[in-house]
Structure 1
Amino acid sequence: MADMELDKNKLNPLPHKEAAEVERHEIPDVVSERADFTHPMPKKDSSKNNEKKERSTTTASLKPMEESSSFPLNETATPSPRNAASKMPVERPPLAPWMSSVRPEDGEDASCAKVSFKNDGSPVTTILLEAQPTNIMSLVKFLHRTITLIENQHITAGKKTEVLFTTFPTLGFFNAKHGPLELTSGERMELLRVKENLFARMENASKQIHFVANVHGGAIEDFGAELFLACHHRVLLDPVQATFGFPSIKVGDFPAASTVRRLSCFFGSQRTIEMAPRFHEYSVESIMDIGLLEGHSSPPAPSFLLRLECAMLEFLSRPTQKELLLRKLFFTSGFDTSAVLVSPNPLLKAWGRYAMAAIVQGKCATNNDGTAVRTQEMRSESIFSEMLYTTPAINAANVCSLGCEMKRRVLPSLPSRRFVTFRGEEMQQWDEKMKALSSAKDDCAAVLLDCSQRFINATAQIVASHQDILVNVNVVLIGEEHVARPIISTLPCSVVVSCASPYRVSALGRLQEVRVFAHDSCSSEASETALNAALTYLQTQDSPYVVSRGSSSKRLIAALATEACRLTQHCDVACIERVATDVLGLFVGPFHLIDYFGPAMVIRMLEETNNMNTQGNPLLVDWLPAIAHHALNGMLNDGYLGVDSRRGGFFSYREDGTAIAPNAEVLRRYFSRPLSDTEVADRLLAVVVNECCEMILSGCVRSATDANVLTIAAIGFRETTGGALALADKTGISALVQKMEELSNWHGPHLRPSSLLKCMAHSKVSFASLSDAMIQSARM
């Protein structure tokens, strides 16, 4: 066939854009598969899935804007017509606008409290807490000095003095900014002894000093609850708005032994041991019925069994006798299998031993009556001391300290501290607020819009109606990004705040994930100002936060859920759940987590994180060749050589080579090999660590610390584990890399260690010491 000759003079030149694409060896869109391609819109979930999704986000929503599951959901909102064709804002990389991670000290804690004396008639001394003290240790020592001062001024005169502990209504009851978990282990041991001495002084001074606690409401927790119990008279003015208890027990901050004994006098020994870590979860009004508070009606008399228990404990002298008595006569048969004593949290088990020792060792003596008595008094202290230096206790303290540091970061000052909130429950006030905002835009730090499923349509409408106002102020959207997406597209810059954790019981259960979206035309200064306003608001709400790009918390959940589903090929769901909670230390297993969010939301997580790892979404990775390779190697080594082999291969054969039946032994040994608990745990941990590495390398999170915090908040690693990356450090990075290489050979390339892990192993660097230079090296 003859070649056709073309007249090049008749050819028209390509447009500049298409010519440039051809020069780069790219196929122009007009002739490629992308021509006239319309992206499909996501399908709406069924109403059942929507209801499930609403219930799951209810417990994980930001405190000021709680969502409710009692209303039907609206999956999408209609954006403003004039912006329907506008370009979607680009998500900015995570920024750190804070100037330092710790606020400067406020000075002496004595300035936080005011001590006043009244000598008319009966002397009254009032200790009024006007501001939250900086340090818990200095607060306890200040109370010691104040009691000494009272004794010197009034007791010498022979008059009985009333000492009133109270605070401003906006403060919690005698708690400090820096709690016990932010102290060193040695300082925490000293604090326990100082508290014990304080409460012993208060008890022994009852003939000369009458201590009264007058609480307005709010949090009566940890040391505040101990001081409250140590008082002889207790008044709570607003029980409905108050919480009482010891939420820090589960992370290793135990009340003094004398406090435990006081609780046992009200609740009984068994109930104190089992319920003290959860008192804060119950209504304070229910506590009034047993006499802890001075209610409007006289409390009922203690039960006969409670009075008998207290009397017999007082009568007996030896701790071993007291413990035997409690176990034989007063404890139920299920005490040894109670949630505290068999908890996967080792600190709760330590609490059980500590509380038992505190109850049976008797009252604290004020002077030495003998060596034996002193040894008994030290039993609970020795248990506490042993616990303090264990890895779980140190991990829990580090996690809690990190959460506190996040809430105390020093942010740049804003021109205004006024935040205008548009909560769904206050919808009838929205128009008035918007009018006030239009007249005082300069006096507004940020506008916070409720973007929950329930109110997204109403929020979208008000944004469309008042867009000319909102484009000139900092806008913070409270809710999930996929729900708020129609509103994000209508604003030049916005900050999305979503709860990163479904766990209320976690120390980081209030962790918020913060993301910044802005048009290319929006300056970096404007986006930084909007982010600063959002973080300032979160700090006013006492919420820790992580600034990220992309939904990093959802990425981690998707990675864990995916690998859990893969593991069902080898072991049952119950085994995976047990290993996740007992071996890895998660609050709940991955399948409980999947059920909590619901299939619709988990599928969305998987779709939104389809670039998981460098291998792509693990669900799409072909893992069968790896299994086949190792199975065939195993068969070769074990003598299953096929037709000519005595042992056969996949089938059993007769001497003439005809097949008899499938060889069940081969299928059982090489293709249905059950996984050990260690292998299950290793695979779950490997995918989470790999995903953290990818988030760090891609710049979705600022640091390994932020990634580790998200594993605790989003996935539910217990504080005692320190998080997934702390577990990786404990294993050893080199050992982990080797283990992941072996896992990838058996179970697929998605388990291959990240390039960051390989660089860390080569340089012998842990996540705790990971530097920016190492991260940059791994990116090359």
Structure 2
Amino acid sequence: MNTLKLEVDADGIALVTIDLPGRPMNVLATELIADLGLMLDEVVARVDVRGVVICSGKSNGFIAGGDLKELVEAHDRGWTPQRGVECVWELSSLFRRLETCGKPVAAAMNGLALGGGLELALACHYRVLADDPKAVVGLPEVTIGLLPGAGGTQRLSRLIGIEKALPLILGGDHVKPAVAAKLGIVHALAPLADVVATARRWLLESPDPVQPWDKKGFRVPGGAGCLAPQASQSFMLGTAGVRGRYLDNYPAPKAILSAVFEGTQLPIDRGLAVEAKYFGRLLVDPVARNIMRTTFINRTAANKLVRRPAAVPKSAVRRLGILGAGTMGGGIAYCAASAGIDVVLLDATQENADRGKDYSRRILAKDLERGRTTADKMDALLARIHPVTRYEALDGCDLVIEAVFEDRAIKAGVTAKAEAVIAPDAIFASNTSTLMIGTLAEKSSRPANFIGMHFFSPVDKMPLVEVIVGKQTSDTALARALDLVGQLRKTPIVVNDGPAFYTTRVFCTYVDEGLQMLADGVEPALIENAARNAGMPIGPLAVLDETTQELRWKVILQAQADGLPVQFTHPAGREVLRALVEDHKRLGRRQGGGLYEYPAGAKKHLWPGIAAAFPAGADQPDVEDLKKRLLYVQALEAARCYEQGIVTEAADADLGSVLGVGYPTWTGGTLSFIDTVGIRPFVDECRRLAARWGARFEPSPWLVARAERGERFYPLPA
């Protein structure tokens, strides 16, 4: 058995230590499942074994869950729901054998036990959890489009009752030790060093090898079925709540409700079969594939800096310079100081520089109030941020990030001043979101060391950094920029230079389409609701207010002045934007209001003047058509970026759209959406949209040729 070790002591206690070789954490990989089966056969057969303790050989936790790489290809391999049931039934039946083997089994959890890890523990007769903040337990499968398929929905509901279990399963919550003990998920807490000894003590003193649900007369705590006191709250209101939150885009929450409702009214074995049935359906659904592939597998690879040039030695930024102490600069400073980096935060005046440091002070003050940090840690972090006005303070910085106004002349000025001070091998990065890196690098004395690092606002919350490679950017600059992103614990994508790069181009099509819908006479509330129903986190009109109409109009005018192709002057919705800025002086939230009003102490609402400025038509379109327009226009722009070599990896396109733009997670991202629809049907629908709404929806000959070949952005597994 390669994944675990079995030792039997003089008292007849078998210690099973799980330790997957070559893995940073234990996961329920196929090899481990097979070894657990062999282990169970052995301990049952051996007369000298009176009980079993299952523990982890990894210092960072018990078992993190299933092996997603083994699950993500189920849809692409053409599995049927029945094949999905068979996949999970091997594990579910193994856990059932474990809890009915006739010998008491205890789980000694030294750290996190999530998903299948907690399901294994729930199949044990006794559970001990380390009394450590990192030792969380939970069933987070809903976050990857699945449900707990190895007994989680059935055992947890029978253990603590449906009313307490269902919110944990639907939310995918991580439960801390004290709460897990209070709820009854675990029997005991123990110091980290004593978890195995505590489990062993139970086996020697008072073991019971029969689960509560296998005892005669067992009833689910709080009841099950329609007549249970909690049924209305858990299932009737729960169904409405799930639909309100997920808007029918995510099948997993409804499947969880059904599995719990149906399964808990049946004996445990039949309940497990019900659970497996719903798991099988979800596993072969493209939504689960999309979520697992993009938000876990591809994101994990990006976090490991998969795009980093391997030949460049690893580096670490010890001292970071930031030019501009506004919202972006202040946010970057906070993230860097949080990562232990010394920060020089430079602005034109000391007042502005100090205000940039105050950004961190405000965040930390809230954390201190909520018990998330201590005064000492707060003071230490703030001490790493040095607000200054003199460029000489940048001396010794390994990397400098420019985060000043989107103005080429201003950027050129600060670049020259910084490069006059920093070391010849220091990297200079621009946080621009619209200006081409190549044109900015023209004003640099060291273009090989010049790169784009596009952060997203608010920086302390947004996980993405878009790293933009100019024509003269060296591999060294790229590697060192990615190393910094890794230090900041953010997720990078790498794109090539071009007007508006990748994420801004995709984002702009979303906002443009919302504005064009206003021009087409669509009710503004219908536009916003259609966007939310599609899965976008915020409607296009509301998000424009946040980024400001004034800034967007300046970008369009600059694109015209630069002679960029017509698509970069945003013809869709441009007249609406011009009217907002020039005729109605509705410039955005920061300027007092735009398409929304922001009354003090009250909820924002649509600007009453919209009706007169942009009259709605008598006939309103179907919401499904609006959803298609908003999703297809972004996916089509992503395909254009891929065609033009702005983004070279489908994974980067998907991560950028989901983490940076807010493209719906259920799609897996813009290019995954095309694959999910099917490239041929996608092209056909684009042509229909183009005929009805304009040439911006017309697929390029390149995309049409891909469709004719049936060429996906993610090839099918061999």
TM-score range, shorter chain: 0.5 to 0.7
Aligned position for 2:47:
156
Query: Secondary structure, in 3 states, of the residue corresponding to 1:339?
Result: helix
Q: Contact between 1:414 and 1:533, CA under 8 Å: does it hold in 2? A: no
Separation in 1, partners of 2:214, 2:96: 22
Per the TM alignment, residue 411 of structure 1 is displaced from its structure 2 partner at its CA by 6.2
Query: Secondary structure, in 3 states, of the residue corresponding to 1:255?
Result: coil
Separation in 2, partners of 1:283, 1:252: 23
Aligned position for 1:248:
141
**Residues 593-652 of structure 1, C-alpha deviations (whole Å, 9 max, x = no match):** 45666778877887888799743332576779xxxxxxxxxxxxxxxxxxxxxxxxxxxx
554-563 or 683-692, which deviates more: 683-692
Separation in 1, partners of 2:460, 2:253: 17
Query: Secondary structure, in 3 states, of the residue corresponding to 1:211?
Result: strand
Query: Match for 1:768 among 683, 690, 713?
Result: 713
Distance 1:263 1:480, change over 3 A: farther
Query: Secondary structure, in 3 states, of the residue corresponding to 2:496?
Result: coil
Per the TM alignment, residue 547 of structure 1 is displaced from its structure 2 partner at its CA by 1.0
Structure 1 letter corresponding to 2:240: T
Aligned 1:428-507 pairs, distance under 5 A: 464-466=394-396, 471=423, 475=427, 493=449, 496-498=452-454
Aligned position for 1:215:
110
Aligned position for 2:35:
142
Distance 1:168 1:685, change over 3 A: closer
TM-score relative to the length of structure 2: 0.63
**Residues 393-426 of structure 1, C-alpha deviations (whole Å, 9 max, x = no match):** 4444443544455567496655755634558568
**Residue 579, structure 1, aligned to residue 527, structure 2:** no
Aligned 1:216-231 pairs, distance under 5 A: 216=111, 219-231=112-124
Aligned 1:185-204 pairs, distance under 5 A: 186=79, 188-204=84-100
Q: Contact between 2:149 and 2:275, CA under 8 Å: does it hold in 1? A: no
Aligned position for 1:387:
282
Structure 2 letter corresponding to 1:677: V
473-482 or 425-434, which deviates more: 425-434
Separation in 2, partners of 1:678, 1:170: 46
496-505 or 135-144, which deviates more: 496-505
Q: Contact between 2:108 and 2:128, CA under 8 Å: does it hold in 1? A: yes
Q: Contact between 1:196 and 1:257, CA under 8 Å: does it hold in 2? A: yes
Separation in 1, partners of 2:665, 2:341: 44
Query: Secondary structure, in 3 states, of the residue corresponding to 2:185?
Result: coil
Q: Percent same amino acid at aligned positions?
A: 16
Aligned position for 1:549:
496
Aligned 1:629-668 pairs, distance under 5 A: none
Per the TM alignment, residue 127 of structure 1 is displaced from its structure 2 partner at its CA by 0.2
Distance 1:406 1:362, change over 3 A: farther
Distance 1:464 1:537, change over 3 A: closer
**Residue 334, structure 1, aligned to residue 221, structure 2:** no
Separation in 1, partners of 2:530, 2:523: 11
**Residues 245-285 of structure 1, C-alpha deviations (whole Å, 9 max, x = no match):** 23332433321353222321454214423331324356554
Per the TM alignment, residue 560 of structure 1 is displaced from its structure 2 partner at its CA by 0.7
Distance 1:296 1:559, change over 3 A: same
Distance 1:725 1:279, change over 3 A: closer
Q: Contact between 1:257 and 1:358, CA under 8 Å: does it hold in 2? A: no
**Residues 155-202 of structure 1, C-alpha deviations (whole Å, 9 max, x = no match):** 412x52341412432456354665453352557533411221222123
Query: Match for 1:323 among 225, 234, 240?
Result: 225
**Residues 89-129 of structure 1, C-alpha deviations (whole Å, 9 max, x = no match):** xxxxxxxxxxxxxxxxxxxxx55x45252524453414042
**Residues 530-560 of structure 1, C-alpha deviations (whole Å, 9 max, x = no match):** 4345556767998654211354222222221
Q: Contact between 1:687 and 1:751, CA under 8 Å: does it hold in 2? A: yes
700-709 or 398-407, which deviates more: 398-407
Aligned position for 2:406:
none
Aligned position for 2:15:
125
Separation in 2, partners of 1:476, 1:360: 63
Per the TM alignment, residue 458 of structure 1 is displaced from its structure 2 partner at its CA by 6.1
Aligned position for 1:715:
661
Structure 2 letter corresponding to 1:464: L
Higher relative contact order (CA 8 A, sep 6+): 1
Aligned position for 1:615:
567
TM-score relative to the length of structure 1: 0.59
Aligned position for 2:467:
514
Separation in 1, partners of 2:634, 2:273: 43
**Residue 528, structure 1, aligned to residue 475, structure 2:** yes
Query: Secondary structure, in 3 states, of the residue corresponding to 2:53?
Result: strand
Separation in 2, partners of 1:602, 1:412: 35
Structure 2 letter corresponding to 1:493: N
Structure 2 letter corresponding to 1:145: L
Separation in 2, partners of 1:596, 1:709: 22
Structure 1 letter corresponding to 2:238: F
**Residue 343, structure 1, aligned to residue 234, structure 2:** no
Query: Match for 2:510 among 556, 560, 564?
Result: 560
Larger gyration radius, structure 1 or structure 2: 1
Separation in 2, partners of 1:614, 1:346: 41
Separation in 2, partners of 1:286, 1:358: 25
Separation in 2, partners of 1:167, 1:240: 19
Distance 1:341 1:685, change over 3 A: closer
Structure 2 letter corresponding to 1:150: V
Q: Contact between 2:658 and 2:665, CA under 8 Å: does it hold in 1? A: yes
Q: Contact between 2:303 and 2:490, CA under 8 Å: does it hold in 1? A: yes
Per the TM alignment, residue 702 of structure 1 is displaced from its structure 2 partner at its CA by 1.0
**Residue 274, structure 1, aligned to residue 220, structure 2:** no
Query: Match for 2:627 among 658, 664, 681?
Result: 681
Per the TM alignment, residue 382 of structure 1 is displaced from its structure 2 partner at its CA by 2.4
Structure 2 letter corresponding to 1:548: V
Distance 1:534 1:178, change over 3 A: farther
Distance 1:466 1:140, change over 3 A: same
Per the TM alignment, residue 462 of structure 1 is displaced from its structure 2 partner at its CA by 7.9
Per the TM alignment, residue 465 of structure 1 is displaced from its structure 2 partner at its CA by 1.0
Separation in 2, partners of 1:593, 1:144: 53
Aligned position for 2:55:
165
**Residues 707-760 of structure 1, C-alpha deviations (whole Å, 9 max, x = no match):** 344333333333433434444452724423422322345xxx545544544555
Separation in 1, partners of 2:425, 2:553: 35
Q: Contact between 2:153 and 2:259, CA under 8 Å: does it hold in 1? A: no
Root-mean-square deviation (CA, aligned residues, Å) is 5.0
Separation in 2, partners of 1:230, 1:242: 19
Separation in 1, partners of 2:103, 2:230: 40
Q: Contact between 1:239 and 1:285, CA under 8 Å: does it hold in 2? A: no
Separation in 2, partners of 1:713, 1:578: 21
**Residue 419, structure 1, aligned to residue 309, structure 2:** no
Aligned position for 1:741:
690
Structure 2 letter corresponding to 1:419: A
Separation in 2, partners of 1:362, 1:120: 38
